[in-house]
Amino acid sequence: MIGVSQSGQSPDIVAAVESGRRQGALTLAITNETDSPLALAAEHTLPLLAGEERETSHVLAEPYSPADLRHGPMAMIDRGFPVLLVASSGRGLDRLEHLTDLLERRSGELIAISDDPDVLERARTPLSLPPGVPEWVSPMVSVVPGQLFAVALARTRGLDPDAPRGLSKVTETR
């Protein structure tokens, strides 16, 4: 079982890793804080070494699979509506071509995180991934340009990503 938390403080993630360990699962904490409750709950820790937490721009964002986006949320997309598409090479990439066509027809503003030259060419804002990353690793690699984009967006909007308004550094979910 792998628990991921920048701060290592999220009680729901800590509880899940503790439960997994009690049930005999091999547990790994991926966290920035090696002395956090999450790191202490897991048998092994992979330190992020990412420095102090930053990544908010006061933008409401909702994640959708391509199938879910086509069934309702697509109606929100109109001229200039920003859509962040994560499209790394692999088995699902061919399914995203049809989705990209739909987004273009609706004149959405496509921001693409991809290693595919065709996807990047169609995006208004292309964020390149390194080529040749194995599919099983691509989610971890794809998050980095998204984080950098969020920091740049916050700064462009005149916000301080290190001091988000009304947001604590730990999300407690019970």
Amino acid at 127: L
Contacts of 83 (CB under 8 A, 6+ apart): 77, 103, 108, 109, 110, 111
Mark residue 110 as left, alpha or beta (left: phi above 0; alpha: psi -120 to 50; beta: remaining).
Answer: beta
- Average pLDDT taken over every residue of the chain: 87
- pLDDT reading at 19 higher than 70: yes
The confidence score (pLDDT) of residue 37 equals: 96
* Helix or strand run (H / E) with residue 45: strand 44-47
The confidence score (pLDDT) of residue 16 equals: 95
Structure tokens at 83: 């859509």
CB 170 within 8 A of CB 9: yes
In the chain the domains, ranked by start, together with CATH numbers, are: 2-47 (no CATH), 66-156 (3.40.50.10490)
How confident is the model over 36-58, as pLDDT tens digits? 999 999 999 999 887 766 576 77
The confidence score (pLDDT) of residue 95 equals: 80
How confident is the model over 139-163, as pLDDT tens digits? 888 988 988 888 899 899 998 887 7
Measured CA to CA, the distance from residue 125 to residue 110 in angstroms comes to 7
CB 132 within 8 A of CB 123: no
CA-CA distances (angstroms) from residue 125 to 13, 23, 30, 136, 166?
A: 33, 45, 30, 25, 29
What is the mean pLDDT of the segment spanning 127-144? 89
What is the mean pLDDT of the segment spanning 9-27? 95
CB 77 within 8 A of CB 83: yes
How confident is the model over 92-114, as pLDDT tens digits? 888 888 888 888 899 989 999 99
Q: How confident is the model at residue 174 (pLDDT cuts 50, 70, 90)?
A: very low
CB 83 within 8 A of CB 101: no
Q: How confident is the model at residue 79 (pLDDT cuts 50, 70, 90)?
A: very high
* Helix or strand run (H / E) with residue 36: none
The confidence score (pLDDT) of residue 116 equals: 93
Portion of the chain with pLDDT greater than 90, in percent: 43
- 157 burial (CB, 10 Å; 0-12 / 13-18 / 19+) is exposed
